[in-house]
């Protein structure tokens, strides 16, 4: 008993049971109630199953056992139901009502008495089935025209309907979106973790259709569960090859034939690394759990029939009526039913949902807002249809249906849109609201749009993985070589595995921990940099990728510009006005014109003045701005809006004397220069969308009800198709764009009351659609917006951000290719690019703007023939869309990546992301993207490094980025300085760690080779564990403090960044250089220790290990570019720890020998023999071919060192 019921009563007048399977096949998609003719009843969708059962019992209490309840899914063919006892067969006549329930009776008089006018009206747009040829007899309805709230239709004298009507069809469309899955299908979906979302009908008494359990309203951001925490963390670690390799190495020591040392030696490093990872994950997940508990335990007032009760957020369910106070978080997705605000609308803050800081206006459902109290909601029979849950936070389709007191007939239907929604995690900013919960838990917009933290793997990490694979191959070949030298004697496979275990230090298990700690330190340095205040590192895994950027993609508005709009120009066709900062004469002239336009009644002014009056009214009325008084001074107006463009227009109207005094859900009040108040009733409002590219509002002047205005403003590309032909519009828009101004075209239409009512009826019909509502509304608007009167064109200036020119110049000199991706006109884009010095004054420019593919091929061929890397390319959105398609994509990308800079205009958010992905695909180089708005998020996520600016459009781009900054100029320091340091430090750190692992493995290899290729460890126990931790970790890790040059040199010579782009700090050549260093040092160290000094194993071990530790510490001192006090302290501390361990670990050292003069001079000889040749050759190479940064800092070395270097160069 879900929501469809077939009641078959065993009655003599119905003899069709033998063909019941055939009937069910045809009617399996229809909601029916079939009862005896004398007991026709209408079963509404909101009736409970129990109510339906009681209804049936009241009619036939004696035959309840014969009642069957079957779900049906198609339309009934009336000809199947006939009375065999009658000579003339009669079809059962359907009673039609707006709830799409049908009662069939053979007695037409009964149906005639039950069929009300509203039922007949509700039959609009419905046939007996999907076919429009099906006919329905409307008994009792008079022939001719039938008018209803939902439209009109024709009916002839026989009662046959001539067209299809939409209300029942709409209800059927609602029903089709419900969950009709069978139990096995539901089980299969759950088993396969397939997410299915369905629509629902929510009644104000808390019941729902379908009758099912919806997700619990629980916030859960935990990554792990308490029970499976450890298995999940271990799986995340061991699914990678190298971690699994170390696990196998550790486990192998439990088998005696494979043991090559103490079990602790191999288990301890793995446990240490895993302990750090598990602890970090546990702390992070504990913080998430605490946040979840706080959110789930927040208490709200839930309205009930008996009063109200306080419940935690986790106990809220679909159908609940929740009271939410001001500044409280919305706990679930709701429909705004009522608000305490007199205007019937409340503001909400959505910065935690979409990142936008401006308040959003939400309007209560008109029907429920007019009720006397909150508890009056339980006195009406009403239901809300909500579409299936989806991710689109700016889109919602639903409707509220009100039934009569008996719950039988539909009295009122009100369409619902985004304006009536309260999404979870938003905050009520004004008033106290009552919301009807429609989605909870996993079905809320916030959760559907939530994603797990992005995991970006940097290019450096990929290179290190590849180098680690080379080391793994080296380790295996070295093991195989030693086994081969032993001529594969005995159990050579076990010996091979034992050698592999002995050389496992070649693959550094501590690499990942050291690099992660280093990245955390780099992130800390970035956020503590006082020269870029407000910078936040949101992804600490890729700071070194800032040091290798090849392409930077930038938004324009709010990124290169301030997004601080200033009204500059107004063109009315017959007159032209330009406002400047220092000239008040134009503004004074406009004030006089405005005063004259509003000094008299509209009918008493001339045509020109009337035109100006309409333009000023459109500026002051066609927007979504809400005024508020400043707390400091009530005379000072502050404005809230989702776009700074609108505020600039309203402020201009205010500056000329037409002030936006007040705004509510239903009216807008303006104050004229004379101090009079003009009140306009808002009849219909069409908000701006990126698809429609325009905004419209229909208003009626309260003092003159005959004056109904339809004001529209929008982009010139759209408005030029709607306004009457003009010989100056296109030229003026191009002129304003060339000056870098943002253009808006204004149009209007005056309507009579009759025309408006006709327009409203069409609009309401389109708005009542559940399927493709936006498309129906757009089609309706286009029909009525043709032939608008052109009022004027405005030009608004968006100032450049501070020091944008210098920042772009530095980035270009650093070898970074810059792309500007904007939605503005081509002329505007070129103007901003030149003023920002993205395109230099004398730089050649090529425009790639075509209309068809033939022209595109010609232009691409011509562009390819330019052969000029200094060339700047300008392309528009339509051409770009053709270029990125398959036939032209390869040719386009091959040529466009060569351009010094590219300006893409009329570019959509999707195109921004596509072009970033294509550049990554075809160049294999590092990309970065920077933006400030929600439309830049896709571009930011597509790039290797995402930079977000906290701007006036909100925090959405900032929250989605890897690095959040407050101004564009900060990205220069972030990339050229912090990117350089992070990359070079990580490269040097990883090379030292590779060196540290290889050198000890070479010592082991030489030792085994000398001692008859025995798989015996030279260092065991705490020596092996302490080597990569206590003794060398701190000095090696101190390399994260190293700086090769000072920051002033980096910004004076940004060309230094080009060396980083080539990846010379860490490549195969530098990797092999460090490997050869380790091979040389490890081989010399062990050979000299055995051949020249001692024969006792413990003494060889002591000398070699001491020389090894000192060599690593000395290498740190020799390789750093700029020695700092913390580096020196780390070296001293490590040496102190090593000396202390000699006393603490007597089993590894011959105490008497270690503190003898013989031990120390031999150790020093080993250290010098290992390091002097390395340093000498390194010094020679750097002297003959110094790096670029060395050339620039040569004068900083001091006169003595400079003279020595000149002497060496002269002799060589």
What is the band of 928 on the pLDDT scale with cuts at 50, 70, 90? very high
Q: Which of 102-116, 458-472, 1000-1014 has the lowest mean pLDDT?
A: 102-116
What is the band of 517 on the pLDDT scale with cuts at 50, 70, 90? confident
Q: Which of 503-512, 699-708, 973-982 has the lowest mean pLDDT?
A: 503-512
pLDDT at 528: 93
**The two three-digit tokens of residue 1094, written as one number:** 């001692």
pLDDT at 144: 37
Judge contact between 145 and 154, C-beta under 8 A.
Answer: yes
Share of the chain above pLDDT 70, in %: 80
Beta 845-848 vs 872-876: how paired, if at all? parallel
Strands of the sheet containing 381-386, edge to edge, are: 208-209, 200-203, 381-386, 398-403, 410-416
Q: At a CB cut-off of 8 Å and minimum separation 6, what does 301 contact?
A: 308, 309, 310, 322, 323
Judge contact between 81 and 91, C-beta under 8 A.
Answer: yes
| Residues 119-135, mean pLDDT to the nearest whole number | 32
DSSP 961: S
425 pLDDT higher than 80: yes
Judge contact between 954 and 479, C-beta under 8 A.
Answer: no
| Residues 677-702, mean pLDDT to the nearest whole number | 88
pLDDT in tens, 306-352: 889 999 999 999 999 999 998 898 999 999 999 998 778 888 888 77
Angle value at C-alpha 261, between 259 and 264, nearest 5 degrees: 105
3-state secondary structure of 335: strand
Q: Which of 138-152, 916-930, 985-999 has the lowest mean pLDDT?
A: 138-152
Q: Which of 51-60, 775-784, 910-919, 1065-1074 has the lowest mean pLDDT?
A: 51-60
Beta 321-324 vs 433-439: how paired, if at all? antiparallel
pLDDT in tens, 716-742: 888 998 999 888 998 888 888 888 788
Q: At a CB cut-off of 8 Å and minimum separation 6, what does 1193 contact?
A: 1044, 1045, 1046, 1049
69 pLDDT higher than 50: no
pLDDT at 1209: 55
pLDDT in tens, 990-1014: 999 999 999 999 998 998 888 888 8
pLDDT at 639: 83
| Residues 939-949, mean pLDDT to the nearest whole number | 90
pLDDT at 1075: 92
pLDDT at 35: 40
pLDDT at 546: 93
What is the band of 770 on the pLDDT scale with cuts at 50, 70, 90? confident
What does residue 208 show for φ and ψ, rounded to 5 degrees? -135, 155
pLDDT at 619: 93
Closest residue by Cα to residue 274 from 241, 247, 245? 247
Q: Is residue 730 flagged as an active site residue?
A: no
pLDDT in tens, 166-209: 344 455 556 667 777 777 887 777 777 777 888 899 999 888 88
Q: How many helices (H) and strands (E) does the chain have?
A: 42, 39
561 pLDDT higher than 80: yes
Q: How far is the C-alpha of 284 from the C-alpha of 915, rounded, in Å?
A: 36
pLDDT at 132: 31
pLDDT at 32: 44
Q: Which residue has the higher pLDDT, 970 or 1020?
A: 970
Closest residue by Cα to residue 402 from 376, 423, 384, 378? 384
What is the band of 11 on the pLDDT scale with cuts at 50, 70, 90? very low
pLDDT at 283: 85
Of 555, 645, 932, 962, which is the active-site residue?
Answer: 555
1208 pLDDT higher than 60: no
| Residues 225-247, mean pLDDT to the nearest whole number | 79
pLDDT at 166: 38
β-partners of residue 679 are 669
How many whole angstroms from its chain centre is CA 447?
12
What is the band of 452 on the pLDDT scale with cuts at 50, 70, 90? low
- Please give the sequence-ordered ranges of beta strands (E in DSSP) within 611-706, or none if there are none: 626-629, 637-640, 659-663, 667-671, 677-686, 694-701
What does residue 473 show for φ and ψ, rounded to 5 degrees? -65, -40
Q: End-to-end distance of the chain based on CA atoms, in angstroms?
A: 98
Which of 13-22, 94-103, 978-987 has the highest mean predicted lDDT (pLDDT)? Answer: 978-987
Residue with tokens 């940097």: 458
Distances 1134 to 273, 1027, 1109, 1155, 1166 between C-alpha atoms, Å: 20, 11, 9, 18, 19
- What is the three-state SS of 1093-1115? HCCCHHHHHHHHHHHHHHHHHHH
Output the DSSP codes for 557-568: TTTTEEEEEEEE
pLDDT at 171: 56
pLDDT at 941: 86
β-partners of residue 710 are 698, 749
pLDDT at 356: 63
DSSP 951: B
pLDDT at 162: 30
Judge contact between 993 and 1036, C-beta under 8 A.
Answer: yes
Give the number of other Cβ atoms within 10 Å of residue 1091's Cβ.
8
DSSP 213: P
| Residues 119-133, mean pLDDT to the nearest whole number | 33
Q: Which residue has the higher pLDDT, 601 or 947?
A: 947
**The two three-digit tokens of residue 524, written as one number:** 């800390």
**Dmax (CA) of the chain:** 130
pLDDT at 678: 92
| Residues 1063-1081, mean pLDDT to the nearest whole number | 90
Question: Using CA of residue 986, residue 988, residue 991, residue 992, what is the dihedral sign?
Answer: negative
pLDDT at 358: 66
pLDDT at 844: 87
Q: Which of 128-142, 233-247, 260-274, 1051-1065 has the lowest mean pLDDT?
A: 128-142
What is the band of 392 on the pLDDT scale with cuts at 50, 70, 90? confident
pLDDT in tens, 1129-1157: 999 999 999 888 888 888 887 777 888 88
Question: Using CA of residue 1184, residue 1190, residue 1191, residue 1195, what is the dihedral sign?
Answer: negative
| Mean per-residue pLDDT of the chain | 78
3-state secondary structure of 311: strand
**The two three-digit tokens of residue 938, written as one number:** 């896709």
Residue with tokens 């009964």: 110
1204 pLDDT higher than 80: no
pLDDT in tens, 1084-1105: 998 888 877 666 677 788 888 8
151 pLDDT higher than 50: no
Whether the model clears a pTM of 0.75, i.e. scores above it, the answer is: no
Give the number of other Cβ atoms within 10 Å of residue 430's Cβ.
21
């Amino acid at each position: 008993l879900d929501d469809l019921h077939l009641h078959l009563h065993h009655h003599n007048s119905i003899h069709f049971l033998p063909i019941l399977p055939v009937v069910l096949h045809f009617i399996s998609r229809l909601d029916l109630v079939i009862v005896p003719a004398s007991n026709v009843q209408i079963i509404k969708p909101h009736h409970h199953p129990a109510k339906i059962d009681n209804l049936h019992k009241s009619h036939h209490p004696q035959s309840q056992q014969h009642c069957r309840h079957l779900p049906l899914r198609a339309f009934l063919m009336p000809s199947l139901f006939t009375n065999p006892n009658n000579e003339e067969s009669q079809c059962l006549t359907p009673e039609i009502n707006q709830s799409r329930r049908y009662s069939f009776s053979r007695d037409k008089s009964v149906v005639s008495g039950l069929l009300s006018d509203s039922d007949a009206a509700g039959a609009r747009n419905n046939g007996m089935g999907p076919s429009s040829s099906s006919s329905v007899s409307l008994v009792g309805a008079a022939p001719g025209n039938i008018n209803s709230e939902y439209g009109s239709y024709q009916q002839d004298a026989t009662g046959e309907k001539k067209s299809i009507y939409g209300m029942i069809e709409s209800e059927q469309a609602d029903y089709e979106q419900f969950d009709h899955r069978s139990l096995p299908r539901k089980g299969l979906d759950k088993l396969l973790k397939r997410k299915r979302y369905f629509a629902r009908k929510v009644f104000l008494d808390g019941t729902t259709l379908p009758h099912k359990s919806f997700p619990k309203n629980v916030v859960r951001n935990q990554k792990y569960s308490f029970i499976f925490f450890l298995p999940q963390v271990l799986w995340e670690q061991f699914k990678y090859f190298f971690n699994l390799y170390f696990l196998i190495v550790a486990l192998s020591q439990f088998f005696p034939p494979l043991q090559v040392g103490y079990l602790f030696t191999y288990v301890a490093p793995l446990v240490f690394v895993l302990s750090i990872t598990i602890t970090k994950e546990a702390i992070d997940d504990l913080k998430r759990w605490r946040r979840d508990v706080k959110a789930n335990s927040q208490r709200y007032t839930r309205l009930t029939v008996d009063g109200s009760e306080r419940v935690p957020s986790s106990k809220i369910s679909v159908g609940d009526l929740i009271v939410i106070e001001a500044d409280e978080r919305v706990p679930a997705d709701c429909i705004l039913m009522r608000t305490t605000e007199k205007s019937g609308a409340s503001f909400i803050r959505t910065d935690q949902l979409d990142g936008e800081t401006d308040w959003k206006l939400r309007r209560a459902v008109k029907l429920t807002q007019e009720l006397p109290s909150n508890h009056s909601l339980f006195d009406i029979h009403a239901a809300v249809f909500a579409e299936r849950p989806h991710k689109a936070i700016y889109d919602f389709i639903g409707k509220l249906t009100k039934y009569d007191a008996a719950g039988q007939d539909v009295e009122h239907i009100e369409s619902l849109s985004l304006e009536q929604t309260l999404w979870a995690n938003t905050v009520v900013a004004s008033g106290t609201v009552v919301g009807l919960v429609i989605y909870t838990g996993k079905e809320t917009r916030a959760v559907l749009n939530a994603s797990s933290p992005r995991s970006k793997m940097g290019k450096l990490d990929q290179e290190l993985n590849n180098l680690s694979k080379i080391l793994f191959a080296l380790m295996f070949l070295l093991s195989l070589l030693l086994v081969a030298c032993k001529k594969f004697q005995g159990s050579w496979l076990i010996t091979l595995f034992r050698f592999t275990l002995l050389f496992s230090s070649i693959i550094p298990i501590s690499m990942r921990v050291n690099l992660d700690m280093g990245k955390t330190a780099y992130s800390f340095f970035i956020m503590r940099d006082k020269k870029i205040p407000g910078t936040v590192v949101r992804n600490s895994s890729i700071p070194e990728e800032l040091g290798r950027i090849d392409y930077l993609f930038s938004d324009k508005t709010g990124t290169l510009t301030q997004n601080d709009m200033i009204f500059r120009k107004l063109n009315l066709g017959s007159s032209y006005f330009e406002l400047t900062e220092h000239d008040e004469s134009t503004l004074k002239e406009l004030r006089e014109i405005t005063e004259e336009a509003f000094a008299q009644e509209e009918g008493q002014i001339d045509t020109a003045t009337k035109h100006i009056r309409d333009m000023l009214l459109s500026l002051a009325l066609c927007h979504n701005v809400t005024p508020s008084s400043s707390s400091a001074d009530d005379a000072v107006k502050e404005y809230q809006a989702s776009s700074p463009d609108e505020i600039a227009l309203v402020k201009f109207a205010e500056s000329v004397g037409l002030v936006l005094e007040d705004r509510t859900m239903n009216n807008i009040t303006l104050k004229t220069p004379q101090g009079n108040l003009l009140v306009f009733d808002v009849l219909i409002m069409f908000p701006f969308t990126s698809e429609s590219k325009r905004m419209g509002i229909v208003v009626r002047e309260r003092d003159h009800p005959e004056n109904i205005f339809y004001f529209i403003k929008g982009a010139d590309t759209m408005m030029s198709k709607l306004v009457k032909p003009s010989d100056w519009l296109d030229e003026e828009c191009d002129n304003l764009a060339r000056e870098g101004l943002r253009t808006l075209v204004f149009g209007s239409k005056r309507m009579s009351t009759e025309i408006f009512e006709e327009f409203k009826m069409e609009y309401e019909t389109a708005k009542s659609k559940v399927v493709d509502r936006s498309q129906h509304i757009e089609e309706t608007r286009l029909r009525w917006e043709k032939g608008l009167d052109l009022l004027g064109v405005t030009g608004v200036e968006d100032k450049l951000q501070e020091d944008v020119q210098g920042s772009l110049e530095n980035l270009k000199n650093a070898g970074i290719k810059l792309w500007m991706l904007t939605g503005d006109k081509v002329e505007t884009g070129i103007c901003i690019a030149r003023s920002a010095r993205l395109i230099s004054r004398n730089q050649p420019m090529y425009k790639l703007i075509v209309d068809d593919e033939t022209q595109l091929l010609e232009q691409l061929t011509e562009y390819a023939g330019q052969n000029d890397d200094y060339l700047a390319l300008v392309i528009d959105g339509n051409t770009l869309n053709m270029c990125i398609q398959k036939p032209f994509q390869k040719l386009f990308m091959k040529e466009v990546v060569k351009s010094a800079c590219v300006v893409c205009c009329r570019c959509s958010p999707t195109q921004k992301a596509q072009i970033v992905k294509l550049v990554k695909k075809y160049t294999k180089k590092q990309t970065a993207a920077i933006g400030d708005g929600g439309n830049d998020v896709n571009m930011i996520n597509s790039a290797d490094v995402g930079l977000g600016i906290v701007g006036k459009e909100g925090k959405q781009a900032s929250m989605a980025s890897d690095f959040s900054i407050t101004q564009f100029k900060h990205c220069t320091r972030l990339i050229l300085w912090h990117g350089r340091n992070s990359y070079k430090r990580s490269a040097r750190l990883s090379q030292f760690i590779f060196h540290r692992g290889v050198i000890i493995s070479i010592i082991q290899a030489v030792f085994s080779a000398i001692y008859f290729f025995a798989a015996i460890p030279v260092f065991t126990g705490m020596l092996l564990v302490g080597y990569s931790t206590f003794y060398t970790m701190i000095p090696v890790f101190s390399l994260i403090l190293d700086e090769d040059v000072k920051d002033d040199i980096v910004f004076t010579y940004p060309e230094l960044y080009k060396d980083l782009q080539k990846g010379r700090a860490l490549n195969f050549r530098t990797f092999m250089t460090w490997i050869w260093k380790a091979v040389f040092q490890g081989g010399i160290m062990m050979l000299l220790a055995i051949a020249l000094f001692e024969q006792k194993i413990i003494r060889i071990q002591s000398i070699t290990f001491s020389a090894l530790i000192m060599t690593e510490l000395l290498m740190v001192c020799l390789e750093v570019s700029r020695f700092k006090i913390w580096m020196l302290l780390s070296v001293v501390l490590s040496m102190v720890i090593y000396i202390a361990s000699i006393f603490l670990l007597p089993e590894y050292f011959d105490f008497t020998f270690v503190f003898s003069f013989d031990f120390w001079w031999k150790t020093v000889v080993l250290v010098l023999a290992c390091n002097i040749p390395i340093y000498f050759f390194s010094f020679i190479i750097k002297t003959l071919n110094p790096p670029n940064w060395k050339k620039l800092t040569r004068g900083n070395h001091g006169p003595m060192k400079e003279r020595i270097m000149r002497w060496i160069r002269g002799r060589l």
